Copies of this chain bind each other. A is one copy, B any other.
């Protein structure tokens, strides 16, 4: 089987959320799996010299319009959260703990956490809220809470984020690699689809 698509994203990224609703189908069409890699966009912004889209004059307003328009086009439920952006350490760490401990629960957890924030407007910066989401998927709450507080999982998130920036050149979310070829943005997923179809160009 071909190498998985490496899907880097931040849990507070609207385009990451939109991309997350589409990447599985694109991967499946080309016989690929998805390797889900949450990271901290705040650290990325510092190195890339950028800031959250919504904080730019002009671009900020357009972006919110485009989040909604892009979601609508693909039939994806989306509600711009009132509290935005938020820190996403708890959700990221939860993902890495699940990937290590209960890998079959990792993707359902990612989808549930994204929906909690971008559909239901829940504040997933809270470890308690994130633990509620995990518990809703049948995951042991105490083990989960201990996992996201463990030094090993905290280190894992730092490593993935550092590596994304320093080794992979990631500067936004979502950021997908197909056999090393980089595709930035939810709006590059159609190009990724064509790229996989044609074997590049």
Contact = CB atoms under 8 A, between A and B. Distances in A.
Contact of A194 (B62, B73, B172): B73
The size class of the interface chain A forms with chain B is: 20 to 34
> What is the oligomeric copy number?
2
A11 to B, nearest CB: 21
Contact of A171 (B47, B59, B69): B59
A192 to B, nearest CB: 11
Interface in A71-92: 72-73
27 contacts: A47-B57, A47-B58, A48-B56, A48-B57, A48-B59, A49-B56, A50-B56, A56-B171, A58-B165, A58-B169, A58-B170, A58-B171, A59-B171, A59-B184, A62-B182, A62-B184, A65-B182, A66-B184, A70-B191, A72-B201, A73-B194, A73-B201, A185-B187, A187-B187, A187-B188, A187-B191, A190-B190
